[in-house]
Amino acid sequence: MKAIKGIIASLALLLVFTGEAQAQDWWWGITYNMSATSSLPGNSDSDTNFIEDYSFRGLGIEARYVPSRDAGYSFGFNVGWNVLNEKNDFGTERNTISLPEADITGTQLRYFNTVPLLANASYYFGDRGGIRPYVGVNAGTYYIERRVDVGVSAVVDDAWHFGWAPEVGLVVPLGRPEVALLTTIRYNWAFSSGGSGDQKFWGFNIGIAYR
Amino acid sequence: MQKWFKGPRMLTGPGGLFAAVALIVALGACYPGDISSVEETDVVLTIHGGNDFSGFNTYAMPDTIVDVCTNVDDPECENAIDIDHSYDDEILAQVAARMQGYGYVRIPIDQVDENNLPDLFMILSVSAVERTSATVWWPWWGWGGWWPGWGPGWGPGYPPAVSVTRWNQGTLEMTLIDPTDTDPDQEIFNVQWDAILSGVLSRAESPIDTDRIDRGIQQAFDQSTYLGTN
């Protein structure tokens, strides 16, 4: 996990300084990411119920290229880190893990860490300089690690997944045209990979975008 | 057009403050969650290996729980703790009740010999030393004379997905062994089922919390419903 921290921190710094050189055409943003799984519609199978709680831990970086001043669309990419966690006490319904040849019961600490690396295309409604709702679609890869700590034991799986994420959001100017509030609701759907089933989670991101 | 966005201001402007707070919140909470009591460290692991229990009808069980470390001169037992055996009868009775509930008929251990073998042996043991999955060993001695040659050096295999790093002192183990294809001299034991209750008999907690033991035993059988297919 230290490696992931390092990668994200380095990438954030790289984007900060790259952003200055590209300021005419690119919007750069940093977002605070919140996540949720099966507490919301869309997650019905066991894999997506791995965590049944909200999370207020996460970070995202957005880059969007607007081809011209009047363009109502953008292309770009984003990278994020979403963490979900849950504690299941001994004796509760979800605290036995069944494996092909064994079963483990105990107080569980469950962790879901994901790093999405996605390309993005968005279409913006409204007029330039005003509040602009938008719709977008993301596609790319997700690194997902699922971990369950039980006592001194741990069951871990991790894999790279292809996936996509439709999103809706709002861009709100903050007094000057070069800076805006960026809010996004994104439904992340990572396809099954490496023995892990489809992974789905909602992302609620809020941050600042610059150009 | 004026460039508002500049690297240094990223760190000092209002946006920078937001970014810094977001970064601290996000990176500072990698693995949240914590264990807050000793009960929350309890683990019940049962291993069945996909075995079919439909052919087993009888079992025998010694009237004691075997202590792994009785020889304090054994280097392996250097850090052994005292094991509280005052609850042996209660534990054995619970196990017998659950075996009966799954339909097994118990053969008294003093009636067991080479001509009157049960389908399974139920062995209960408790480890006085901390151990890892690589050094699981069983004290197959001193419980009635059958298979007197048992000694340390062998243990059940863990499924690959189970990454067991350590079992606490005072771990209770329940093991079902099929005497068929078992050769103690060769340290070959045909284990059909193994249940491990981490640390429930440790004297570190005084007095011993019998609720933890009861809960662990019940859970081991509850999650092993395949035992009732005989």
Query: Distance between CA atoms of A17 and A82, rounded to whole angstroms?
Result: 24
Q: Residue B15 and residue A56: Cβ atoms within 8 Å?
A: no
Task: Establish if A195 touches chain B: CB-CB under 8 angstroms.
Answer: no
Identify all chain A residues contacting B22, using CB atoms and an 8 Å cutoff. Answer: 30-32, 59, 207
Burial class (CB in 10 A: 0-12, 13-18, 19+), B150: buried
Q: Which residues contact B74 (CB under 8 A, 6 or more apart)?
A: none
Task: Establish if A10 touches chain B: CB-CB under 8 angstroms.
Answer: no
Nearest to B32 among A85, A153, A178 (CB): A85
Among all residues of chain B, which has the CA nearest to that of A81? B26
Q: What is the mean pLDDT of chain B?
A: 70
Among all residues of chain A, which has the CA nearest to that of B21? A32
Cβ-contact B106, B62 below 8 angstroms: no
Confidence (pLDDT) at A182: 93
pLDDT at B4 over 70: no
Nearest to B159 among A83, A86, A102 (CB): A102
Per-residue tokens: A6: 């390092």
Confidence (pLDDT) at A136: 97
Q: Residue B7 and residue A101: Cβ atoms within 8 Å?
A: no
Q: Which residue has the higher pLDDT, B168 or B46?
A: B46
Please give the sequence-ordered ranges of beta strands (E in DSSP) within B10-162, or none if there are none.
Answer: 43-47, 58-60, 66-67, 105-106, 120-127
Confidence (pLDDT) at B130: 62
Confidence (pLDDT) at B135: 34
CATH topology of domain B35-229: Double Stranded RNA Binding Domain (3.30.160)
Q: What are phi and psi of B28, to 5 degrees?
A: -85, 0
| Local confidence band at A103 (pLDDT 50, 70, 90 cut-offs) | confident
Q: Residue A59 and residue B165: Cβ atoms within 8 Å?
A: no
Compute the nearest-CA separation of A184 from chain B (Å): 16
Identify all chain B residues contacting A13, using CB atoms and an 8 Å cutoff. Answer: none
Q: Residue B215 and residue A102: Cβ atoms within 8 Å?
A: no
Over residues A69-95, the pLDDT tens digits come to 888 999 999 999 988 888 888 877 778
Structural domains of chain A sorted by starting position, each given as residue range(s) with its CATH number in brackets: 2-210 (2.40.160.20)
Among all residues of chain A, which has the CA nearest to that of B4? A178
Task: Establish if A208 touches chain B: CB-CB under 8 angstroms.
Answer: yes
Q: Domain ranges in chain B?
A: 1-33, 35-229
Query: Distance between CA atoms of B124 and B176, rounded to whole angstroms?
Result: 9
Q: Residue B1 and residue A156: Cβ atoms within 8 Å?
A: no
The predicted complex's ipTM stands at 0.73
Identify all chain A residues contacting B44, using CB atoms and an 8 Å cutoff. Answer: 104-106
Query: Distance between CA atoms of A155 and B192, rounded to whole angstroms?
Result: 23
Least confident of B43-47, B129-133, B221-225: B129-133
